């Protein structure tokens, strides 16, 4: 095995992207928790799809301990921030660079469905939405607008499988 696709997700966006990417390129795919040391040893190239929570890519800190520096890594962060949210994307990139400075990175937009969230997540989303609604429209990040939409209509979905073409 020379290339492997791994994903870490809580709500499914990263898995959707990872499965489509792996299937279209005929790469094996595994959920992060299923990956064995044998698979890591035989992989030369790793594509890691991880959901973003609080500006961090899910599971990356754990992977730093498991993956040696000789692997070629592409880390695909999946979250609600858009390319317009440069400050938020810089925060995500900084977190990735701290653990994997040599990794190639791509950010894709995901989705968020209110029914999939647990009560603490719903409360956090509601608080973010309330704070965002106090801002003037031009000062809001796209992620804040998306969170407002989740609160108001219970779902946002920015998944665009055509964006996978940006991944080399």
Enumerate residues 6+ apart whose C-beta is below 8 A from 52: 58, 77, 78, 79, 80, 81, 92, 110
Q: Which residues pair with 29 in a beta bridge?
A: 5
pLDDT, tens digit (0-9, with 9 covering 90-100), for 118-151: 999 999 999 999 999 999 999 999 999 999 999 9
Q: Residue 77's closest CA among 162, 163, 144, 146?
A: 163
For the chain, the structural domain boundaries read 3-166
The hierarchical CATH code for the domain 3-166 is 3.40.50.360
What pTM was estimated for this model as a whole?
0.92
CA gap 101, 18 in Å, rounded: 22
More confident residue, 13 or 68: 13
- pLDDT, mean over the chain: 91
Banded model confidence at residue 156, pLDDT cuts 50, 70, 90: very high
CA gap 148, 83 in Å, rounded: 18
């Amino acid at each position: 095995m020379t290339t492997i696709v791994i994903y870490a997700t809580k709500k499914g966006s990263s898995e959707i992207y990872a499965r489509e990417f792996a299937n279209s390129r005929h790469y094996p795919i595994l959920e992060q928790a299923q990956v064995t040391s044998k698979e890591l040893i035989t992989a030369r190239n790793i594509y890691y799809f991880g959901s973003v929570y609080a500006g961090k890519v899910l599971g990356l800190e754990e992977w730093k301990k498991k993956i040696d520096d000789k692997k070629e890594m592409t880390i695909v962060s999946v979250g609600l921030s858009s390319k317009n949210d440069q400050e938020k994307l810089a925060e995500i990139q900084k977190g990735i660079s701290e653990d994997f400075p040599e990794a190639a990175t791509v950010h894709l937009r995901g989705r968020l469905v209110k029914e999939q969230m647990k009560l603490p997540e719903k409360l956090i989303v509601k608080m973010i939405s309330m704070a965002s609604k106090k801002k003037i429209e031009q000062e809001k990040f796209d992620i804040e607008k998306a969170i407002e939409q989740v609160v108001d209509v219970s779902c946002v979905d920015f998944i665009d499988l055509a964006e996978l073409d940006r991944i080399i």
